Structure 1
Amino acid sequence: MKRLDALDAARFLAFCGMVLVNFRIAAEVAPGMDWASMLIGALEGRAAALFVVLAGIGIGLSRISASLLLRRAAFLFVIGLINMTVFDADILHFYALYFVVGAFFLAASQRGLWLGALGIMILAVIANLFFDYDQGWDWDTLVYTDLWTLPGFLRNALFNGWHPVLPWAAFLLIGMAIGRSKLHTLCIQHRLIMWGFGAAVLALFPQMMTSDTELVAYLGTESIPPGPFYVMAGTGTACIVIGLLLKLWPMIKRTGTAAFLTAPGRQSLTLYMAHILIGMGVLEELGLLGGTLSAPQIALYALLFCSLSSVFSLLWARKFKRGPLEALMRRATEYTRA
């Protein structure tokens, strides 16, 4: 199937949302009522969910083998562990675990993928009934106290980390199911927009039906803790963005801005690492971490970083087919015959 450029654009938008959220976390910016706080608050948990759904769509559209997917998982896991020494909220090592789950569903039908996603959400609900979600967390500092012990790492990765397998792997399977659809048709694009809007709206109601504080948190649409209605809301939002971009892509191409969206979308792995090592590194060197910036200031800095990332990616793409880390992953995981 011909590559759908709109999906690359969606990936870049997801990256921009993650940059806004992660820069706020790193800079320890207190939430407020200004435009930037509301924007970042709306993106928390949604941008990353879109990122994972898009990864699933990519797998669904491709003919990737289980062995290659597992090799990519191993590559991302190693890169993610290295990244975690700098930024605890790394998503790459979680991505690797989602890929392991996805490898078992490569031959599944669309129905099987949806049932698999449902099963993961049910397991997440059961896990919350039997285990303490707060274990390991110091919520005042957002530090996971026993992350680098085996029990703590496994608990964080599977149950109560920033993006745990239960239930975040459901996003990947949902994306794989969506990727099996005829995304280039208006019919599917309209369904994504309408069903996504319906799911995002319906997910808001359960939290309104109880006054119990803990129950409200779990029935809500926040990513921490990630309850079933968060997955529903995150999936709905992702479907809206993907559907709209697919539908509006011919119009976007006519504006001449398409390349500024697709080039960085195809280098999202490189840019993800860059926003931590370079973007956050600059903030640290300037002494701007630790709550010294306001939400609007960090938002403007994040948007500037995203703009520069787009320009860099466009210039890089004129000389090279893939981004630096994308090329390294391909070389490390794909075998070539002499």
Structure 2
Amino acid sequence: MQRLAALDAARFLAFCGMVLVNFRIAAQVEPGHDWASVVIGSLEGRAAALFVVLAGIGVGLSTVTTSDLLRRAAFLFVLGLINMTVFDADILRFYALYFVVGAMFLTASTGVLWLGAAGVVTLAIGATMIFNYDLGWDWDTLTYTDLWTLPGFLRNLFFNGWHPVLPWAAFLLIGMAIGRSELHRLCIQHRLIMWGFGAAVFALFPQILATDPDLATYLGTEAIPPGPFYIVAGTGSACVVIGLLLKLWPKIEGLGIGPALTAPGRQSLTLYMAHILIGMGILDEAGLLDGSLSAPQVFTCALVFCVASSIFALLWSRKFKRGPLEALMRFVTQPRGA
């Protein structure tokens, strides 16, 4: 239970990072050199990667069946389609497809999971070499011009969207492999921290050594385009966060702040939808999504929303075992009589 609590806390931290990044995108704030821009920039592609790795760990730790996982994927896909009408950088429709990939490897060994992750990355590299990654994008406005056509939707989903299945599904498979470890053991936690830090640092060098600008971009650690070393860097940073939280969790609980982190972590689906429909909705109604906010102001708005989310989750958890959307997903996807 202690290790599960730490993973819930990690999920909430990932959610907070995604709120910061998504509020900046929605508010059309250009990256700058102030402290808030640096913080938000460092979380781009990292918070969402942590979220997906944690989903994989959850699958690896659970006794979920293939049919269970596919039903959850269908639920999330429909929810994601609804959500993308408001915010086209939504991750849920992609998340659903990661679960479909995970279902294919549900009974695989740990070694096969790592090979599967490498295979997904290899397919992504091949696709980038064959197809035009820029197709569909207006990079000046960060909009996808033909998202609502079938070819554009599928291209965005699998190849060059915000979180495409190739290569993002690798994060889920890696998480499933990590979930097979004895995460309660201190030596495993130390390995996650050390190997994760080493991977994150190692991923920085190929971009530095590349002489061709286009190749340097692809070999970088940015989420767009998601090259192989972005996967290495995203996995590394996720492992560091997870390892540190697992190791430090007894001390965090001793400070009395554990519930404020775990309660929202267990309601992350509800809160994720809320940050788009409610958080961005409030900013939109106030006329603040027109580029008028500064990065520090976006940071403040996101921080206020995350604190409010924690308070809501704490109050909700006193009455109910699951968050609203978590309960709905269980009701819809749970086989009758199970």
Give TM-score, length-normalised by structure 1: 0.99
In 1, Cα distance between equivalents of 2:144 and 2:42: 24
In 2, Cα distance between equivalents of 1:169 and 1:282: 32
Q: Provide, for residues 153-182 of structure 1, a one-character-per-residue CA deviation record: whole Å limited to 9, x for no partner.
A: 110000000000000000000000000000
Deviation, structure 1 residue 259: 0.1
In 2, Cα distance between equivalents of 1:336 and 1:132: 46
Deviation, structure 1 residue 142: 1.1
What letter matches 1:26 in structure 2?
A: A
Alignment of 1:247-286 (within 5 A): 247-286=247-286
RMSD between aligned alpha carbons? 0.9
- Provide the secondary structure at the position in 2 that maps to 1:4: helix
Deviation, structure 1 residue 212: 1.7
Assess if the C-alpha contact under 8 Å between 2:127 and 2:159 holds in 1: yes
Q: Provide, for residues 252-272 of structure 1, a one-character-per-residue CA deviation record: whole Å limited to 9, x for no partner.
A: 000000000000000000000
What letter matches 1:54 in structure 2?
A: L
Deviation, structure 1 residue 143: 1.1
Deviation, structure 1 residue 3: 6.0
What letter matches 1:270 in structure 2?
A: T
1:17 corresponds to 2:17 = yes
What letter matches 1:19 in structure 2?
A: V
1:73 corresponds to 2:67 = no
1:153 corresponds to 2:157 = no
Give TM-score, length-normalised by structure 2: 0.99
Structure 1: which 4+ aligned runs deviate by more than 4 Å? none
What letter matches 1:117 in structure 2?
A: A
Deviation, structure 1 residue 2: 7.1
- Provide the secondary structure at the position in 2 that maps to 1:63: coil
In 1, Cα distance between equivalents of 2:234 and 2:115: 18
Match of 2:193 in 1: 193
In 1, Cα distance between equivalents of 2:103 and 2:210: 39
Deviation, structure 1 residue 317: 0.2
In 2, Cα distance between equivalents of 1:140 and 1:165: 24
1:174 corresponds to 2:174 = yes
In 1, Cα distance between equivalents of 2:23 and 2:248: 30
In 2, Cα distance between equivalents of 1:284 and 1:224: 26
Assess if the C-alpha contact under 8 Å between 2:146 and 2:152 holds in 1: yes
What letter matches 2:281 in structure 1?
A: G
Assess if the C-alpha contact under 8 Å between 2:3 and 2:184 holds in 1: no
What letter matches 1:220 in structure 2?
A: G
Deviation, structure 1 residue 211: 2.9
In 2, Cα distance between equivalents of 1:294 and 1:243: 33
Q: What are the ranges of 5 or more consecutive residues in structure 1 without an aligned counterpart?
A: none
- Provide the secondary structure at the position in 2 that maps to 1:174: helix
How many residues were matched structurally?
338
Deviation, structure 1 residue 336: 3.2
Alignment of 1:293-308 (within 5 A): 293-308=293-308
- Provide the secondary structure at the position in 1 that maps to 2:322: coil
What letter matches 1:51 in structure 2?
A: F
What letter matches 2:5 in structure 1?
A: D
Deviation, structure 1 residue 297: 0.4
Identity of matched residues, %: 76
Match of 1:131 in 2: 131
